[in-house]
Amino acid sequence: MSDLLQTPLPIRLAQTLGLTAAGLLAGSSISFSLVALPRILESPTPLLIQQWKNLFNAGKLWMPPFALLSSSLLFYLASQARSRSPSSASVAPDRFWGYVGAGVLALSIVPYTVLFMSGTNARL
């Protein structure tokens, strides 16, 4: 508990907001896959295509900003884990690679979408 009280507010905010944004991103991705897409696939083809476009456009509107926010905050935490300044002393140095990995994974939704989904979406 004393470590929590000694953690500077900017670090605690970055941890909270970075993980919350990553959680929202992961939650929306899994809800698309497990809830929305199975229901869309039950629709007739013309409606299916329109629903897919609407779902994709909604995701395209707000998922990249959440990915950017989350990864930026996680990379900030990684930089603080490597920093020698007194304000960053509360970020454990052994967490550097964890924060880097989490930041890369959070941001990877954007190139994944461009590389693997652009062809399908262009045909629709």
Q: What pLDDT band is residue 85 in, cutting at 50, 70 and 90? A: low
**pLDDT at residue 88 above 60?**
no
**pLDDT at residue 121 above 90?**
no
Task: Say how far apart CA 116 and CA 36 lie, in whole Å.
Answer: 19
CA–CA–CA angle 113, 66, 89 (5° rounding): 120
Q: If 0-12 CB within 10 Å is exposed, 13-18 middle and 19+ buried, where does residue 102 land?
A: buried
On whether the pTM is more than 0.85, the answer is no
**What residue segments make up the domains of the chain, in order of their start?**
2-123
* Residue 118 DSSP SS3: helix
CA-to-CA dists, residue 105 to 26, 28, 74, angstroms: 10, 15, 10
Task: Say how far apart CA 48 and CA 39 lie, in whole Å.
Answer: 9
pLDDT in tens, 20-65: 999 999 999 999 889 999 999 999 999 999 999 999 899 989 899 9
